[in-house]
Amino acid sequence: MNPGREILDNGTVVCTAPPHRIGTDGLLLARFCVPRRAERAADLGSGCGIIALAWHDAGHRGPCAAVELNGTAHGLLAQALAEQPEAAAHIRAVLGDLRQFGAGQAPAFDLVACNPPYFTAGRPSPDPQRAAARHEETAAFTDVADCAGRLLRDGGKFAFCLPPDRLAQAFAALAAARLEPKRLRFVKKEPDRAPWLFLCEAQKNRRPGLRVEPDLCLQAGARYGRDS
């Protein structure tokens, strides 16, 4: 494989290939909830590892498990880590199914993030890898929430993003996994348009109390979604 290269703000290299590329939503999520330097973190359905690598680029150096079922995407992260010893020292590329990850182990993670497949209906892409990345073919959001609830210590955080029409479904799945929504932010491409994405942070075994943050409006042409 001869992957492409993307360079993050502080020089971290991300290896990419179709359809495993850097998406604005993944970078938004990575920046929405950043682990403290030594915290134990997990990136579920990590693809090419953009969230784990963006956290590293921002200064995270604690243990980080990047869990991915697709062998091609897993290989892209493995190659990026092979080229960057400092990242490889704390990021572990895990080839596996999030529905089994962490089963039977004591909850010990401080932060779990997931940029999950968005679509539950509609016609999937004829490309199997793209279909798996965009449609819930291998894991539903309930599986993702269950995994986060299993991994997190009490008070640990779960961050994710989804289209706004899945907000109610997401909150129901969080409740079933004992994850309480604490922060919510909608993302717009232009000020006068409806949001196309929401970012949410939940905490394990905490009391209700949701803070809705101001909408994030992406700059025109801003690929990586910085605040306007």
Q: Are 162 and 116 within 8 A, CB to CB?
A: yes
Q: What predicted TM-score, i.e. pTM, was given to this entire model?
A: 0.89
Q: Residue 138 has what pLDDT?
A: 67
Quickly tell me which residue has 């179709």 as its tokens. 18
C-alpha 6/C-alpha 16 separation (Å) is: 7
Domain ranges of the chain: 22-217
- Topology annotation, domain 22-217: Rossmann fold (3.40.50)
* Extended beta strands in 10-51, E state: 13-16, 41-44
pLDDT score of 176? 98
Q: List average pLDDT for each run of 10 residues in the chain, which is 228 residues long.
A: 89 96 96 98 98 98 98 97 98 98 96 87 46 57 98 98 98 98 97 96 98 89 37
pLDDT score for 192: 93
**What is the pLDDT, as a whole number, of residue 2?**
75
> What is the C-alpha to C-alpha distance for residues 57 and 185, in angstroms, rounded to an integer?
23
Smallest CA-to-CA distance from 30 within 5, 57, 48 is with 57
Question: Which residue's entry shows tokens 């529905």?
Answer: 99
Q: What are phi and psi of 154, to 5 degrees?
A: -60, 130
